[in-house]
Chains A and B, each alone.
Chain A
Amino acid sequence: MTRIWITAILLLNIICGGCDQYATEEQNNPLFGLGVPATDTLIRKWDDDVRPDGKGFPAGEGDARSGKIVYSQKCASCHGANADDNTFGKLVSLPGDTSKSKSVGSYWPYASTVFDYIRRAMPFNAPGSLTNDEVYGLTAFILAGNSLIPDTVVLDASVIPKIQMPAMRKFVPDDRNGGFEVR
């Protein structure tokens, strides 16, 4: 399903009048051969994204219990003791939460994104300072808090891509396409 509509987006992007206006400007240019080949060291250092299909996940592991300890030390000051504070984006909707505010449990379509974002940008006051084990633990703590995984699950590179997020089914591709209809 995801595949189908992603293809649809690509098609929409390709079918359009005068598209190649700029691309064709370049067609007859030579190859300049500028830049230097990227070293594996640099690629390994910078390429820290992870994809929903599991590509990019590093070695390491963590569970909700280890995550909770890191959370209370490095995250709770901004996101609240129970991770349900909505000031900077609600991480956890606790059982019985009837508010409509978005949380990882109610809104996030992929578990991989939790890992990716925490590793890339959190904690806000010291981004890039967490170990991979800590990020696995924090991801487990947040997912378990939203009742998306049992407390006991140990997350690693092979487990995260298998987690189904309930919000996934809400996501639809952009259907606006100009023209007469307001969408």
Chain B
Amino acid sequence: MNNKKIYSRRAILAASAAAAGIALVKTTAGQLVHALVPGDKPPADPTTIQGVPSGKIGTRSPFEQLVKKPSDISARTPLQHLVGTMTPSDLHFERHHAGVPFIDPDRYQLLVHGMVSRPTVFTLSDLKRLPSFSRIAFLECSGNFRTGKERMTPQEVCGLTSQSEWTGVLLSTLFREVGIDPRASWFLAEGSDAAKMTRSIPVAKGIRDGMIAYGQNGEALRPEQGYPARLFLPGWEGNTSVKWIRRIEVSDQPFMTREETSKYTESIKGGKIRQFSFDMDARSIITFPAYPVKITKGWIEIRGIAWSGRGKITKVEISTDAGRHWAPALLQMPVLDMAHTYFRYIWKWNGEPTEIRSRAVDDTGYEQPTLDQLVAARGKEMGGYHLNPVTSWQIKRDGEVLLKPEKWK
């Protein structure tokens, strides 16, 4: 009815928004659409000039240059630039073994077979017709600790953790549909990437809270996170949440795939190798102030995230004097199970050099250890997976904030 009116209004806006231009913008579907984008420079006074009209997809302010930090096999979430607990989907960390596959959702199939009474193939629309479950939870790679240099950001230290709302079908639903054999104890999850990535998972975990997720933050999964469907196992090391899942084989023993023997196992004391170390232990990191920010004297709110794969965070403590004294930070409600929890702590910096750090406690009573405690428990030869040490930031006299690098080998 008033299409015309909108059109003309749009035309006027386009004409009068002096700094704006029409550009080709890529939608999430990869479609190119025309959209009005602001010019390079904002006007001196935005109240004196019409803004850009509404568009087909939202944009990120050109002033917010948020990027992941990619390598050949992974890309890290810029934790220091995020606020709150959710990770925008395009900034979710990535880790894959053979690149991101390109999958046609109409040809997608999930095969469930093995110790089940009805071996079944589900299409994506079958999965979407089953009861749809959502939960907010973090996903973290088990190899998520880097140190060694002062000039390292939270992204570089532990940017392989991200948080989303995941939506999909509970495995308990799927197992009921196919009639799982009560004697079954493990299942193999296999991806449809070029690594045909495989992990063996205890059926008990699948039934407890596992899901086949097809949604991430209100829309379809991103290809980098497993489009069109992935396994999601809250609280467990990221690689077990097999992406691009195409097959589940139910069994009564683990398959001992390469990703649970050669990789994702870790050396511990006495020449032993720990296997099937699924749970992500409690951890926290201060994301502000952290390198590369510089601070000035006075009141500062120290902020960060804490999480545990075993349940809820019950406490985060902050030390602003290199670990001599600790005081509880405020936990931002609601605190969810197996989810990034935002913490805040008000501190007055007096301008003297010091060190700030955080440590998390979860509802099992587990307290985030120091690197020394981890070395004492696992030995100097300990492997690089499941390292969750307390991370310290040095505050220099000039207000520079630098990582306190650590060594154990």
Contact = CB atoms under 8 A, between A and B. Distances in A.
Interface of A: 6, 9-10, 13-14, 16, 19-23, 25-26, 29, 31-39, 42-43, 46-47, 49-53, 89, 100, 102, 104, 107-110, 112-113, 116-117, 120-121, 124, 127, 167, 170-183
A86 to B, nearest CB: 13
8 contacts: A10-B185, A37-B118, A46-B111, A113-B258, A127-B195, A171-B273, A178-B310, A182-B376
A16 B207 CA distance: 13
Given A23-B172, A26-B170, A180 B366 contact: yes
Nearest to A11: B204
B109 to A, nearest CB: 8
Contacts of B317: none
Nearest to B274: A174
Contacts of A14: 204
Interface residues of B, number: 74
A38 B367 CA distance: 47
Contact of A127 (B196, B281, B366): B196
Contacts, number: 186
B18 to A, nearest CB: 53
B362 A108 contact: no
A16 to B, nearest CB: 8
A42 B121 contact: yes
A29 B271 CA distance: 49
Contacts of B185: 6, 10
Interface in B330-376: 362, 364-367, 369, 373-374, 376
B205 A113 contact: no
Contact of A9 (B131, B276, B367): B276
Interface string B374-385: 101110010000
Interface of B: 97-98, 109, 111-113, 118-123, 126, 129-131, 133, 170, 172-173, 176-177, 185, 188, 190, 194-196, 198, 202, 204-205, 207-209, 246-247, 249, 251, 253-258, 261-262, 265, 268, 271-279, 281, 310-311, 362, 364-367, 369, 373-374, 376-378, 381, 386
Contacts of B204: 10, 13-14
Given A172-B274, A174-B275, A179 B366 contact: yes
B93 to A, nearest CB: 22
B127 to A, nearest CB: 8
Given A10-B204, A121-B194, A176-B386, 9 more contacts: A13-B202, A25-B170, A26-B176, A37-B120, A102-B262, A171-B265, A178-B279, A182-B376, A183-B378
Nearest to A13: B204
A47 B196 contact: no
Contact of A35 (B98, B126, B386): B126
Contacts of B386: 176
Contacts of B109: 42
Q: Which of B131, B273, B311 counts the most chain A CB atoms within 10 A?
A: B273
A183 B377 contact: yes
Contacts of A50: 255
A100 to B, nearest CB: 8
Given A38-B120, A127-B195, A170-B273, A178 B364 contact: yes
A25 B133 contact: yes
Q: 7 closest pairs, A vs B, by CB? A: A178-B364, A13-B204, A117-B258, A174-B277, A38-B119, A35-B120, A35-B122
